[in-house]
Structure 1
């Protein structure tokens, strides 16, 4: 074996370069696709038993005989390997879900609801928390069946391995709950089964954890560091959020880790249309890639416009659209750890900037609105979106952009009221 010192090229100085080492993959790290695969592994069996136990504790169902004329819906397990920030396996998660797609709307159910917080609310809460020095913690609910009370009668087959029989809700974001006492303020943000808690009192967080654990089986994940694939780092300057690991996963899964980085995500004069290029034989590759990029825009406003443009061609993507998407990947490789800073020295005053082009879409002649909203020095909201009508002039397109921005500002003012922020 050669003992010569190896040095990475200069253009890779900002990247971690290591030799690839092939190691055997543990069977526990492989996500099963069906129950028959999972039941052969004792670790996955333990995860399924924990899910059933948690559902029983929450009184999710009542065992009964199937009445005559009723048809039960089936159920299945969804398996997921949960990873830590460094890529190591945190735990195995088995989620029991009902096959609701076999139901008929208006007969078996009226509407659906899942508590999903807006990402603007998450960024707004973090920016306020760092200015006011609030504690930030996160919890994980062991199962997603919370307080979704059903008014309809639903019958479901028994799942495999089953052998037995406070706070004010925000009007601005229904997934935000706040509680104010004489000496503390606590905000709780729910995203399905992930919970973000911010409070100016550590004792209030402890009391909240005990309360939630009495009603649901939750796991205390400690201070906020990794939430919904978003890496959170707190320092004296403020809070940094990024999706470094998620960005590297996209590059690895799309086989572009070895590609040459580029300085811009899209050429300035490029105008994509439905007819550009030849239609792809497999549309799923493009849809998968754009879907991943859409989630990356949570912390990357610099690619918001480009990804918005690419998302318009999900129905019939072409080779030109896919080539433009691959260029975005090369741009991401330039700085995969780029982050957003919520400054601790920031004021809590809203300000916004908006702009629009005019008739830039070659297919519909509609204009594109772009805006960004700051809370003091912290960027908390941004969007690039095609306008719903055709503007007769550039002035009309600008007015539409301003109206859209004012709607966002109005909503944010109501959100700040719930978060105990006085705003003129």
Structure 2
């Protein structure tokens, strides 16, 4: 029977994991003969990410990172906010905007980008504020401070990874058409799950202006398909090949119909490459696109500002909570 072992290295930090304790011990002994090493035991902290274990599973958070960030940015005594960004924020570049300290702004946004490695709840807000790095205004700085105020309300929020009885790969994809008031480009995003656990996500403004909501959803679907294919390939390399079809849930019926329609319509000729790519994966039975209602679309929080209650309901469904919060 084949054994699996993974060695993860970042500069002088190392993680060793696998399914055979004896093999792991042998590898550590060998590495110790070649390098000066110190065994810190079970993984608890790595690159600012804290690891906590329980009967429920493995919990990842950046609580210490947030707790250190607030006093360093002068936001320790700020009033907590219930959401990371306000509804109808209309953040954009304006000719009469009041400039703010660019170096401070870039430093804060950079730290928030790193924090979003485990804080998917701030992914959309960070995606928005990162669009103004070259010329930030006081309004943009206010949006950054709003994210910090939200972090104060729940510094220990993170992701729970539970053991389930399957390794099914699936995802949710969504897009907000022409949401940017400056250039009318759209924001798309996706969540992907392996074995019922959230593993990757992305919120990003698209590079081109979409002519319809179907087009922007379709381009977002293409990015989601790429991510699912990468996960399938990665699991295959780790010894867990996926033989079942992966679901990519979408709430736009027009985009789903385009993906299944073999006829090239005039209004989608400019999406021809994406269309052929998606159709190929559909024909190979690798991907399918089940329809999901908008209210059940988890990726909504990556593309737009949703109501507070819907926001927190999505976080629960995504397996995000705060084990450090008082009960």
| Among 262, 278, 286, the residue aligned to 2:81 | 262
Hey, what's the Cα distance between the residues in 2 that align with 1:414 and 1:219?
A: 33
Q: Which residue of 2 aligns with 1:322?
A: 141
Q: Which residue of 2 aligns with 1:407?
A: 226
Aligned residues of 1:346 and 1:378 also touching (Cα < 8 A): no
Aligned residues of 1:237 and 1:345 also touching (Cα < 8 A): no
**CA displacement at 1:279 relative to structure 2:** 1.0
Name the SS for the 2:184 alignment partner: coil
Hey, what's the Cα distance between the residues in 1 that align with 2:54 and 2:231?
A: 26
Q: How does 1:166-177 map to 2 (within 5 A)?
A: none
Hey, what's the Cα distance between the residues in 2 that align with 1:410 and 1:191?
A: 25
Q: 5+ unaligned residues in a row in structure 1: which ranges?
A: 1-181
Q: 2:66 aligned with 1:247, yes or no?
A: yes
Hey, what's the Cα distance between the residues in 2 that align with 1:312 and 1:188?
A: 35
Q: Whose helix proportion is higher, 1 or 2?
A: 2
Name the SS for the 1:401 alignment partner: helix
The 10-residue stretch of structure 1 (206-215 or 288-297) with the greater mean CA deviation from structure 2: 206-215
Hey, what's the Cα distance between the residues in 2 that align with 1:216 and 1:417?
A: 31
- The higher relative CO (CA closer than 8 Å, separation ≥ 6) is in 2
Residues 241-290 of structure 1: CA distance to partner in whole angstroms, max 9, x if unpaired? 0000001111111121111111111111112112273112x311111111
Q: 2:81 aligned with 1:278, yes or no?
A: no
Hey, what's the Cα distance between the residues in 1 that align with 2:37 and 2:208?
A: 47
Change (3 A) 1:357 1:195: same
Q: 2:150 aligned with 1:331, yes or no?
A: yes
Q: How does 1:304-383 map to 2 (within 5 A)?
A: 304-345=123-164, 347-383=166-202
**CA displacement at 1:347 relative to structure 2:** 2.2
Q: Of the two, which has the highest radius of gyration?
A: 1
Change (3 A) 1:221 1:345: same
Hey, what's the Cα distance between the residues in 2 that align with 1:238 and 1:225?
A: 14
**CA displacement at 1:346 relative to structure 2:** 5.1
Q: TM-score with structure 1 length normalisation?
A: 0.56
Q: Which residue of 2 aligns with 1:224?
A: 43
Q: 2:12 aligned with 1:189, yes or no?
A: no
Backbone CA RMSD of aligned residues? 1.3
Q: How does 1:139-154 map to 2 (within 5 A)?
A: none
Q: 5+ unaligned residues in a row in structure 2: which ranges?
A: 244-327
Residues 92-116 of structure 1: CA distance to partner in whole angstroms, max 9, x if unpaired? xxxxxxxxxxxxxxxxxxxxxxxxx
| Among 242, 259, 270, the residue aligned to 1:423 | 242
Hey, what's the Cα distance between the residues in 2 that align with 1:338 and 1:300?
A: 7
Q: 2:221 aligned with 1:398, yes or no?
A: no
The 10-residue stretch of structure 1 (183-192 or 220-229) with the greater mean CA deviation from structure 2: 183-192
**CA displacement at 1:350 relative to structure 2:** 0.7
The total of aligned residue pairs comes to 242
Q: TM-score with structure 2 length normalisation?
A: 0.72
**CA displacement at 1:205 relative to structure 2:** 1.1
Q: Which residue of 2 aligns with 1:49?
A: none
Residues 60-82 of structure 1: CA distance to partner in whole angstroms, max 9, x if unpaired? xxxxxxxxxxxxxxxxxxxxxxx
Hey, what's the Cα distance between the residues in 1 that align with 2:90 and 2:30?
A: 55
Name the SS for the 2:182 alignment partner: coil
Hey, what's the Cα distance between the residues in 2 that align with 1:382 and 1:347?
A: 20
The 10-residue stretch of structure 1 (254-263 or 187-196) with the greater mean CA deviation from structure 2: 187-196
Name the SS for the 2:40 alignment partner: strand
**CA displacement at 1:360 relative to structure 2:** 1.1
Q: How does 1:127-138 map to 2 (within 5 A)?
A: none
**CA displacement at 1:183 relative to structure 2:** 5.3
Q: Which runs of 4+ in 1 moved over 3 A?
A: none
Aligned residues of 1:279 and 1:319 also touching (Cα < 8 A): yes
Hey, what's the Cα distance between the residues in 1 that align with 2:97 and 2:106?
A: 16
